[in-house]
Amino acid sequence: MLASLRHARGWLRQESSTSNAVDAVVIGAGVVGLAVAQSLAQAGREVVVLEAANAVGTETSSRNSEIIHAGIYYPPGTLKARLCLEGNARLYEYCDSHAVPYKRLGKLLVATNAAQIPKLKHLQETGQRNGVKGLEWLDQEEVREMEPALHCVAALHSASTGVVDSHTLMLAYQGEAEAHGASVAYNSRLISGDVGGAVKTLVVEDVVSGERSSLACRMVVNAAGLHSQAVAGRLQGLPSSMIPPRYLARGCYFSLSGKSPFSRLIYPVPEDGGLGVHLTLDLGGQAKFGPDVEWVDRIDYTVDPARAASFYPAVRHYWPELKDGALQPSYAGIRPKLHRPGEPPADFMVQGPKEHGVNGLVNLFGIESPGLTSSLSIADLVKSKLL
Q: Which CATH number covers residue 362?
A: 3.50.50.60
Shared-domain flag, residues 255 and 221: no
User: Which long-range contacts does 9-17 make (Cβ < 8 Å, 24+ apart)?
Assistant: 9/48, 9/183, 12/213, 12/215, 13/213, 13/214, 13/215, 13/216, 14/213, 14/214, 15/214, 16/199, 16/201, 16/214, 16/215, 16/216, 17/199, 17/216
Q: What's the number of domains the chain is made of?
A: 2
Query: Which residue segment(s) compose the domain that 181 sits in?
Result: 2-61+167-245+346-386
> Rounded to 5 degrees, what angle do the CA atoms 337, 81, 265 make?
80
Per-residue confidence (pLDDT) for residue 271, from 0 to 100: 67
Shared-domain flag, residues 95 and 147: yes
- 247-259 residue pLDDT tens: 999 999 999 999 9
Orientation of helix 166-179 relative to helix 31-42, angle to 10°: 30
Shared-domain flag, residues 90 and 184: no
Shared-domain flag, residues 267 and 130: yes
Shared-domain flag, residues 271 and 353: no
pTM over 0.85: yes
Is the pLDDT at 11 greater than 50, yes or no?
no
Is the pLDDT at 380 greater than 70, yes or no?
yes
Span between the terminal Cα atoms of the chain, in Å: 28
Shared-domain flag, residues 138 and 241: no
Shared-domain flag, residues 239 and 284: no
Shared-domain flag, residues 259 and 137: yes
Which among 61, 154, 147, 64 is positioned nearest to 106, based on CA atoms? 147
Shared-domain flag, residues 270 and 238: no
Shared-domain flag, residues 217 and 270: no
Shared-domain flag, residues 251 and 160: yes
Shared-domain flag, residues 132 and 182: no
- 13-27 residue pLDDT tens: 444 445 579 999 999
- DSSP structure class, residue 242: G
Is the pLDDT at 6 greater than 60, yes or no?
no
The CATH number of the domain holding residue 332 is 3.30.9.10
